[in-house]
Amino acid sequence: MSLSLIPGQKLIAATHNPGKAVEIAALLEGRFEIVAAGSLGLPEPEETETTFVGNAILKARHAAMRAGMVALADDSGLSIAALNGDPGVYSARWAGPAKDFVRAAEVIWHKLDTARAAQGEAFTTTAWFTCALAVAWPEGHACVFEGRIDGQIVKPRGNRGFGYDPVFQPEGYDVTFAEMDPDAKDSISHRRRAFAQLKAALLA
């Protein structure tokens, strides 16, 4: 048992989204053999935790203990200061089963207008995206890595990216994530930062 990973080692990506497994393989620069948990017939656990780190550990452990192999999981979302960190771990759930992020963005702006009226001068549109990554071993222990990017909630602009990208403008930029070139967005994203931390720690 050790906390290092060996190049070429098989890693379970604790996701049922095949696209996500491919993306994880690329973010790890092809240094591992990535197997999607879905392709092994592993069940998907319920995300019962209240933090990104908690949900990432839960998903990675669930897969690692069932597959008997090291597993990797992520949990990501948008947190808004004026909404006490919401939608946070409920970011995907706010879009509903139809994954309607246009509607979710409307909900956010409706809640922000209410918050602005209630909070007065203290009100801000400060927000941040977080990505938590967990690597879990079959013995039950896990390591966690987090990436974050700060910015502001704005009215929706742009049609690239996905999820809340149109309402998020990263600090130091005058475009939203959905207006940015995908490579430019990827180079500063919370996911990239979390993977950079993982790679520095586990692959060095």
Give the residue with the Cβ less far from a copy of itself, 53 or 78: 53
Residue for token pair 């095949």 = 18
Residue 83 makes contact with a copy of itself by CB under 8 A? no
Q: Is residue 75 among the annotated active site residues?
A: yes
* Nearer to a copy of itself (CB atom), residue 83 or residue 201: 201
**Judged by CB under 8 A, does residue 32 bind a copy of itself?**
no
Count of residues in the chain: 204
CA-to-CA dists, residue 61 to 35, 40, 54, 136, angstroms: 15, 15, 11, 5
Q: Residue 158 Cβ, how far from a copy of itself at the closest point, in Å?
A: 30
Q: Is residue 9 part of the contact set for a copy of itself (CB under 8 A)?
A: no
b/e per residue, 135-157, with b = 16+ CB within 10 A?
A: bbbbeeebebbbbebebbbbebe
- Shortest spacing between CB 99 and a copy of itself, in angstroms: 27
- Is residue 53 involved in binding a copy of itself (CB under 8 A)? yes
Q: Which stretch binds a copy of itself (CB under 8 A): 48-56, 73-81, 112-120, 174-182?
A: 48-56
Find out whether 36 and 96 touch, Cβ atoms under 8 Å: no
Does 41 participate in binding a copy of itself (rule CB under 8 A)? no
Q: Is there binding between residue 177 and a copy of itself (CB under 8 A)? A: no
Q: Whose CA is closest to 40, among 13, 70, 19, 5?
A: 13
Residue 137 within binding range of a copy of itself, rule CB under 8 A: yes
CB 129 within 8 Å of CB 190: yes
Cα separation, 116 vs 123, whole angstroms: 5
Query: Secondary structure of the chain: what % helix, strand, coil (to 5)?
Result: 40, 20, 35
- Of 74, 75, 86, 165, catalytic: 75
Under the binding rule (CB under 8 A), the answer on residue 54 touching a copy of itself is yes
Nearest-approach distance from CB 93 to a copy of itself, in angstroms: 18
**Residue 36 to residue 204: CA distance in whole angstroms:** 24
Interface with a copy of itself by CB under 8 A: which residues? 1-4, 49-51, 53-54, 57, 137, 139-146, 197-198, 200-202, 204
| Catalytic positions | 75
